[in-house]
Amino acid sequence: MHMVRSVQKSRFPLSRRAAILGLGAAVLMGTPVFAQETIKVGLVAALSGQSAKSGEAITRGLEVAIDEINAAGGVLGKKIELVRRDDESNPAKGVVAARELVQKEKVAAFFGGIDTPVSLAIVPFANQAKVPFIGVWAAGTAITRNGAPENYVFRVSAVDELVDEAMIDYGVKTYKTAKPGLMLINNPWGESNEKGLKAAAAAKGLAVAGAEKFDNADVDMVPQLTRLKEAGADTIFLVANVQPAAQVVKSLDRMGWAVPVVSHWGPAGGRFTELGGPSAEKVHMVQTYSFSGNLSKKGQVVLAALKTKYPQITTLADVTPAVGIANAYDGMHLLALAIAKAGTTDGPALRKAFYEIGTYEGLIKTYSKPFSPDNQDALGKADYMFTHFKGAEIVPVN
């Protein structure tokens, strides 16, 4: 018996043995031993694959905001720490990643990435776990409008239903659209926009020429586009991320059909001009922010911080896609305000605090009471702009 004790004693220095004994005593007394030194926030996003640039942009926006928050003393006397997980644009992997962040990493809240199907899969878990889930890219209407009696999903991003109205309005104003043709990715995001675009067209008294679907791996969209052309479509309304959107543009080129294309913001998430060829620059797409053009003072500060933190940023093309950066930057600051207002990272208290945020001068706009139980989207139709690629840079139209 004496030998066993001696071995144990030699394995643990006195200070460590004392710490272990103290830990045991504290556990028996039911008191917490170590307060968490940081407040962890999570990110579930595409960090690899075709949409990896979107995950990189979101990461940069969050990190620059976190640097600012921490430099000002953090929140509740603690520094913010970012913990990331790659969802690989896969809904099942996204849910596993969200569970790991909440249950293992104990994040106070977590952010979502570019893919609507992934975000829709995570929503029920976030509401069940009572942990705020902040969308900063995926635009599926049902992500925030999910019907939960206690909704823990907030968003600083576009909303399909509103984007669809803005796209139809833009088509009518810019191209005198009379018969829209829809080209939609064959997933829940495409379904969300099919519903919204048809409703927006009907509200304008427009007859839709047709709604064609395609999959991520498709390389030839000529059959679908031919049907729309024969049905009299005078403008194509495109909803897809980078790879399939590029194939739509290339298929139009093969047909020799110079029809205007108005797009949701999916092409912004990657190497669209590289994959789609020269005609990719003709596609006009929705964005919530651009670092090109006349920047506000806040924009100048954030751009300077990005260049300092990420030396690989040398031109404005290197901060494309700006929407990921801007949405995430504003979203992180709004979360910090909610945590400060709640005085805790407890989920239900934090959810309530989102509704109590007053005014925040953000990168995209000045927010005033950005969230309410009836509207958990901080951005509306008036906050969108139309842009296009110019080389690798995304610039405002005109």
Count CB-CB contacts under 10 A for residue 396: 13
Weakest mean pLDDT among 6-15, 131-140, 269-278:
6-15
Question: H or E segment at 328?
Answer: helix 322-342
The count of structural domains within the chain is 2
Asked if 326 and 292 touch (Cβ cutoff 8 Å), the reply is no
pLDDT of residue 20: 41
d(CA 105, CA 353): 22
Task: Name 349's Cβ contacts closer than 8 Å, sequence gap at least 6.
Answer: 342, 343
Regarding whether 140 and 181 lie in a shared domain, the answer is no
Q: Which domain holds residue 368?
A: 38-158+294-380
d(CA 140, CA 142): 6
d(CA 169, CA 204): 8
Regarding whether 132 and 99 lie in a shared domain, the answer is yes
pLDDT of residue 269: 79
DSSP state of 207: P
SS3 222: helix
What is the spatial order of strands in the sheet that 79-86 belongs to? 79-86, 38-45, 109-112, 133-135, 153-155
pTM of the model: 0.84
d(CA 56, CA 139): 18
- Which tens digits make up the pLDDT trace of 54-106? 999 999 999 999 999 999 999 999 999 999 999 999 999 999 999 999 999 99
Regarding whether 371 and 322 lie in a shared domain, the answer is yes
Burial of 207 (0-12, 13-18, 19+ CB in 10 A): exposed
Asked if 189 and 139 touch (Cβ cutoff 8 Å), the reply is yes
Identify the domain boundary among 246, 262, 287.
287
Asked if 157 and 83 touch (Cβ cutoff 8 Å), the reply is no
Model confidence at 254, pLDDT cuts 50, 70, 90, reads very high
- Tokens matching residue 45: 């996003």
- Which tens digits make up the pLDDT trace of 257-267? 999 999 999 89
Quick check: is 25 in a domain? no
For the chain, the average pLDDT equals: 91
Regarding whether 359 and 264 lie in a shared domain, the answer is no
- Which tens digits make up the pLDDT trace of 142-186? 999 999 999 999 999 999 999 999 999 999 999 999 999 999 999
Quick check: is 386 in a domain? no
Quick check: is 103 in a domain? yes
CATH classification at residue 315: 3.40.50.2300
Quick check: is 203 in a domain? yes
Regarding whether 199 and 133 lie in a shared domain, the answer is no
SS3 248: helix
Q: Is the pLDDT of residue 398 over 90?
A: no
Query: Nearest 5 degrees, angle CA 66-CA 69-CA 75?
Result: 110
190-217 average pLDDT score: 97
Identify the domain boundary among 287, 322, 352.
287
Q: Is the pLDDT of residue 29 over 80?
A: no
Q: Is the pLDDT of residue 315 over 80?
A: yes
Count CB-CB contacts under 10 A for residue 328: 29
- Tokens matching residue 47: 């960090």
Query: Residues of the chain with pLDDT > 70: what percent?
Result: 91
Q: Is residue 110 left, alpha or beta, with left meaning phi > 0 and alpha meaning psi from -120 to 50?
A: beta
